[in-house]
Amino acid sequence: MQRCHQEALKKNRVMLAKQLLLSELMEHMIEKDIITAEMVEMIQAKPGSFSQNVEFLNLLPKRGPNAFSAFCEALRETKQQHLEAIILKTTSSLSQGLARLEHHYGSNLPIPISESCNSKRPRWIEPMEHSLDNGDGPPIPQVKYCTPKFYHDHQHLAYKLISEPRGLALILSNVHFSSEKDLEYRAGGDVDCTSLEMLFKHLGYQVTVFHDQTAQEMQNALERFSKMPDHRDVDSCIVAVLSHGVEGGVYGSDGKLLQLQEAFRLFDNANCPNLQNKPKMFFIQACRGDETDRGVDQQDGREWSDSPGCEESDANKEENLKLRLPTCSDMICGYACLKGTAAMRNTKRGSWYVEALTSVFAEDSRDTHVADMLVKVNRRIKQREGYAPGTEFHRCKEMSEYCSTLCRDLYLFPGYLPGK
């Protein structure tokens, strides 16, 4: 959502929280693919209409570039045009104020910035995944192999991971988006895709890559991948999704959302029996909101951030004696950023997260399990800092995270093949 629209909602927040008739409006917002049924349940769990409206207003700015226009349209469709008129009047006043500032200060206006350093005219942007140019793309690191001794010392507590290939890997990478949507070209996204493809191949995976897929094409690709019979003969799988995003979803090239929970569900124990008890890794390089992490000063100030360049701004038993499994298990998912925040990307080096991920996995997968490697990725992201003097992205921060239902240590044992 554009910053002027966020400001208009903020300035009218109390009025909207008191007057908004939410029940029917939310049905329209679901139909427009702005919110999900799960979000409606979360909103309705709040006590009273005021609290429900506040929860909705907290969520709305994080729902992507179409959220404001869809909200205005839903207000008209639910006969709340008077609220739309107030919001649009505020938006108009903010835009006029911006125009006066631009006329007075010219291109040095510090608040509205563009996604590219080379843009000559400042404008309101969707800070989906922020980027600035600097330097050449990073070299793809060579994966270091584990030793037979390490394998034999650790395999008894780990998932079995010795098949050839280790597993199947799917990468969905979107960098171009339809012109009618307010989603910028993801310069540097191809660097991420190439880095991950080479990393996964060096780790022993059979990799499939799809570029610039619509939301439906992404869903179809994930469904086909989850149902591949070859999963039965391998020990793990990887899915990586690289795109613009919001909390809970990523954008297809057509600007429509793919809900991540629906994607994960394709690989659970009920829907993907060929991967039961096998580790499934997901890596999501996408924003999960619009907020730029401004960071805070460390109290003692002794540690300095690593800022290599100019950056801006996811057993009981039955009668038949079959072992029961929880619906979802043996999964680990790494996210580039925290809920509600934006991910950072450099147009030459690629994203902060993928650069850290490929470096750590190449260096440490020989003797470190995946959860500990993702902690090390977190540490690298924590230490990194944006460098873009004169913009709101100067000294900006990012924090990656992961969630896990793994039940054993997940060592990738790169290069180790029994009997060879």
Q: Which two tokens stand for residue 74?
A: 């839903």
Q: Which amino acid is at 388?
A: A
Residues 43, 75, 261, 346, Cα dihedral to 10°: -110
* Strands across the sheet containing 343-346: 129-130, 343-346, 350-351
Report d(CA 164, CA 227) in Å as an integer: 19
Return the SS3 of 55: helix
Report d(CA 415, CA 362) in Å as an integer: 12
Report d(CA 283, CA 333) in Å as an integer: 6
Phi and psi, residue 207, nearest 5°: -110, 135
Q: Which amino acid is at 356?
A: A
> Exposure of 68 by Cβ count < 10 A (0-12 exposed, 13-18 middle, 19+ buried)?
buried
Residues catalogued as catalytic: 244, 287
Report d(CA 250, CA 175) in Å as an integer: 12
